Amino acid sequence: MTVTEKAAYLRGLFEGLDLEEKKDETKLFKAMLDVIDDLAMTVSDLEDELALVSEQVDAVDEDLDDLEQYVYEDDECDCDDEGVYEVECPACGETVYFDEADIDNGFAACPACGEKLEFDLDDACGCEGCAAEEDDKDE
């Protein structure tokens, strides 16, 4: 039951009491019910406005996520959490993938053209996968 429904219920109970209009108590109850009605309407309006603001904040949050993805997409890590590295060969332009087992002492040959590629594995990119790998190497 909403606040406005509860206020309407109280007003119905009051009107069902069949009190004398001229008594002070009746005037007091009527004034209190008027205040309760006003408060209930105010609360209802605030709930509606809060719902609208919440929807707008959600929309702004989604837009911000899209913007962050657009701005920072080039800063993403070239490795995944499994230790697989995505590399574009500078000689042939092919995108190739290596895991740590393929990389021997920081070097690997491009499977497309045979070019010797150098990797600096000590310079982790800071992603969760690389950070975990660095922690494992330190121990």
**Beta-strand runs (E) in 1-139:** 84-88, 95-99, 107-109, 116-118
Query: Higher pLDDT residue, 127 or 8?
Result: 8
Buried b (16+ CB within 10 A) or exposed e, 44-69: eeeeeeeeeeeeeeeeeeeeeeeeee
Q: What pTM was estimated for this model as a whole?
A: 0.46
| Structure-derived torsion over alpha carbons of residues 124, 125, 128, 134, reported in degrees to the nearest 10 | 10
Range in 34-48, 67-81, 91-105 the model is least confident about: 67-81
> Residue 97's CB: how many other CB atoms inside 10 A?
13
> What residue type is 35 in one-letter code?
V
Computed from CA positions of residues 67, 70, 76, 81, in that sequence, does the dihedral angle turn out positive or negative? positive
- CB hemisphere CA count around 103 (13 angstroms): 19
**pLDDT above 70: residue 28:** yes
Cα dist from 129 to 40, 80, 84, 93, 132, whole Å? 54, 7, 10, 26, 5
**pLDDT above 70: residue 117:** yes
